[in-house]
Amino acid sequence: MNNRQERLHLLFDKYLSDSITATELEELWALIRSMDTMGDFPENIKTAWDNIPDGDTTSEVDGNSILARILEKHPQPVNRPVIVMLKKNWGKIAAALLILLGIRFLGHKTNEVRPVTTQPITTTVGSNKAVLTLSNGESLLLNDQATGTIARQGMMQVIKNEDGSLSYTGSENDKLNDTYNTLTIPPGSQYHVTLPDGTGVWLNAATTIRYPLAFSGNKRKVVIEGEAFFDVAQNAAVPFEVNSGTMQVLVLGTTFNIMAYKDENSIKTTLIDGAVKVISGENSQQLKPGLQAILPAGEQSFRVVQADMKEVLAWKEGEFRFYDTEITSIMRQVARWYDVEIVYKGVIPRNKFYGVIPRQHNVSQLLEVLEVTHHVHFRIDGRKIIVMPGPK
């Protein structure tokens, strides 16, 4: 990738994250305008362009609508010559460029491609549903509980706060070392709990965490399956340990995200602030902020990469954020968030998707946006989403 390609890639990223300045946006449009043969575009953008059928006319009305949204969002830097360039072959540009720049602009309805729905999927997403299982086996559906003390365990009280979150108050003692609570978050929900030691945990959909009511040993151990963001209360004498199966994370006081769903092909720990040590078998490494440890399923050796923080924390910010993401990875997120079954039919292309979509969109809206790329097509049958190749 040459310097101009790298600059274009950087400007695309800044555009997608809404951090681009007026001057940089003018530079972006100038780069696009100068690359009229597409030969100088980064490979992933050129691939998206090449995979769009030559006769594609992604509704001219829709194209103008998308253009209007962009001009409304950034009216000052875009001059008339750039607008003329954008309107030329607009259907192709809308599909190849603007989807890459940000799927958020394609959140409108389209008459050209629409999922075939035999029975609509109805689901409430973004709720604070969670089930707390106490040490005696009793299960409490938290969204049905009134605010205040909802359980007592020894000297510890379990509190449902006014914002719907969960916390603990009382005295930790050795008798509670072996007293565990389990918090289960169903699909379509997120939840926040403050553990007995003061550690804050934000839990993504389809996630379970198990923790003791007292951290009085030489470690504070919790077990996680799914995805969670931790803000660990500092205690230098008692390190905090997260066990996610084949990867352990040791911290003193820090913020980090761990993604450990069983249906994913790897476990990922991303450090936001502070320091953590990741351990797998005989291998261990300390991370610095901004780094991510990736442990492939079934292996004990992990690799460390620079993390895309916006992508890692998108779920916590109420977004789906795709960057160089295959449809199978997207649909795993869809399954967890909308509580649906995913079925594949035919040979599914391995094209990469880019963009940002609010998690509050219903599933049909999200599928319509993905279908605009022509890479995939969807059919909804009850709570089943059938994924098929897009039109040739």
In a domain, 151, yes or no: yes
Indicate whether 29 and 90 sit together in one domain: yes
Q: What is the pLDDT of residues 315-351, one digit of tens each?
A: 999 989 887 889 999 999 999 999 999 999 999 888 8
User: Which pLDDT does position 189 carry in this prediction?
Assistant: 94
Asked if 257 and 345 sit in the same domain, the reply is no
Does the residue 13 lie in any domain? yes
**What is this structure's pTM?**
0.73
Nearest to 53 by CA among 388, 361, 373: 373
Rg of the chain (C-alpha set): 24
- Report, as ranges of residue numbers, the positions in the chain whose pLDDT lies below 70: 1-2, 5-6, 9, 12-18, 29, 32-126, 172-177, 392
Identify the CATH number of the domain in which residue 376 sits.
3.55.50.30
Has residue 182 been placed in a domain?
yes
Whether 352 maps to a domain, the answer reads: yes
Q: Do 327 and 309 share a domain, yes or no?
A: no
The CATH number given to whatever domain includes residue 269 is 2.60.120.1440
Residue type, 246: T
Please check whether residues 359 and 294 belong to one and the same domain: no
Q: Are residues 34 and 49 in the same domain?
A: yes
Q: Is residue 225 part of a domain?
A: no
pLDDT of residue 16: 53
Task: Please tell me the total count of domains within the chain.
Answer: 4
- Are 76 and 160 within one domain? no
Q: Say what the pLDDT of residue 172 is.
A: 64
**Domain housing 184:** 124-217
Statement to judge: residues 326 and 312 lie in one domain: no
- For residues 205 and 238, state if they share a domain: no
Sign of the dihedral defined by the CA atoms of residues 248, 250, 253, 254, in that order:
negative
Same domain, 44 and 95: yes
The per-residue pLDDT for range 14-26, each reduced to its tens digit, is 665 567 787 887 7
- Domain membership of residue 116 (yes or no) is no
Amino acid letter at 189?
A: S
Assigned token pair, 247: 């990867």
Query: Do 213 and 129 fall within a single domain?
Result: yes
pLDDT of residue 298: 86
In a domain? residue 207? yes
The pLDDT score that the predictor gives to residue 5 is 64
Looking at the fold, whether 95 and 137 belong to one and the same domain comes out as no
Q: Which of 295, 317, 339 is the last residue before a domain boundary?
A: 317
Does residue 118 form part of some domain?
no
Relative to beta strand 384-389, strand 341-344 is parallel
